[in-house]
Amino acid sequence: MLTATFLASIPSPDRGVWYLGPVPIRAYALCIIAAIIVAILWGERRWRARGGQVGTVTDIAVFAVPFGLVGGRLYHVATDWQKYFGPSGNPIGALKIWQGGLGIWGAIALGGLGAWIGCRRRGIPLPALADAAAPAIVVAQAIGRLGNWFNQELYGGPTSLPWGLEIRDRVNPDTGAPDPLNGIAQGPPVEIVHPTFLYEMLWNLGVAALVVWADRRFRLGHGRAFALYVAGYTAGRFWIELMRADPATMIFGLRINVMTSVVVFLGAVLYLTLVRRGREDPETLAAHQQVALAS
């Protein structure tokens, strides 16, 4: 019976890192890079369709991407500080971003600050750019979740569903010591769990489709497409986070990301309710950019 269950489940990659000589090639890092490229390319296309100039999103990404990576790491370390600064923690591990661990809330917050700096330099209203980038950002999040599959992390509790995820012990092939991040899987699966990374990935793609549809149907502007993305993403993150089984900082008996999802969702819905309707005039956006470039 156990063998039949495993045959009906989703396998995990046997490793998350390969070596090109002495150089490690990490699947997580490749997923993040691919996500950034997709976000920039699609965001650029949507910005041009709204009347913006070619190259604007790429220029602003120079500020937004590094700010976002730093913010995402800071949020992760702050909310999982025991892992790095607890009694058995490793403070140096807080700097090892290539091993996984980026918090979307910190990435959006500091990434938004970087985007604001870039927008000011180009004379562009940040809400207009955010609307163009919104579906591209959430698709990038979906791509990034594939990195969790390779790292065999962020999964839920045990399940007997046919799409359960196989978890296998990974060990260092030279020493035989357990090594979940850099090791190679050995032996049969030890557990079948809910693939919460996959649930979030599929949910994110659905949110992207919703934002694109609503943006076309209602001509969303002034940050409303971005707010719809935030509301849609946090609604999904709420129930997916409740399924996760990995250790997390708790507040009032709930995972901190559950509480954050509720607060951010309410803020996004409030913004959608209060902000003015309509979309920025394309000629106005182009005029703002021309003035900024000439100054």
> What pLDDT shows up at residue 81?
76
Question: Is pLDDT of 241 > 80?
Answer: yes
- More reliable by pLDDT, 80 or 287: 80
Check pLDDT > 70 for residue 284. no
Closest by CA position to 227, among listed 124, 112, 106: 112
pLDDT tens for each residue of 27-46 = 999 999 999 999 999 999 99
How far is 241 from 245, CA to CA, in rounded Å?
Answer: 9
Tally of CA atoms within 13 A in the half-sphere of 284 that contains its CB: 6
The pLDDT of residue 283 is above 70:
no
What would the mean pLDDT of 266-288 be, rounded to a whole number?
83
What's the confidence (pLDDT) of residue 5?
Answer: 45
Instruction: List, for residues 107-117, the tens digit of each pLDDT value.
Output: 999 999 999 99
Q: Given pLDDT bands bounded at 50, 70 and 90, which one contains residue 261?
A: very high
Q: Is pLDDT of 4 > 60?
A: no
Task: Categorize the per-residue pLDDT at 293 as very low, low, confident or very high, splitting at 50, 70 and 90.
Answer: low
Q: Pick the residue with more confidence: 145 or 8?
A: 145
List residues bridging with 170 in a β-sheet.
Answer: 185
pLDDT band at residue 6 under the 50/70/90 scheme:
very low
Confidence of residue 292 (pLDDT cuts 50, 70, 90): low
Mean pLDDT within 259-275: 95
Over residues 130-138, mean pLDDT: 97
User: In 3D, which of 239, 267, 269, 266 has the Cα closest to residue 255?
Assistant: 239
* Integer Cα distance of 184 and 100 in angstroms: 17
Predicted pLDDT at 98: 67
Residue 144: its H or E element: helix 126-151
Instruction: Give the per-residue pLDDT at 85.
Output: 82
For residue 38, what are its two tokens?
């997709």
pLDDT value for 128: 94
| pLDDT bracket for residue 3 (50, 70, 90) | very low
Can you tell me whether residue 5 is helix, strand or coil? helix
Helix, strand, or coil (residue 155) = coil
Average pLDDT over residues 233-238: 97
Q: What is the pLDDT of residues 153-187, one digit of tens each?
A: 889 999 999 999 999 999 998 888 999 888 999 88
> Distance (Å, rounded) from C-alpha 281 to C-alpha 145?
35
pLDDT at 2: 44
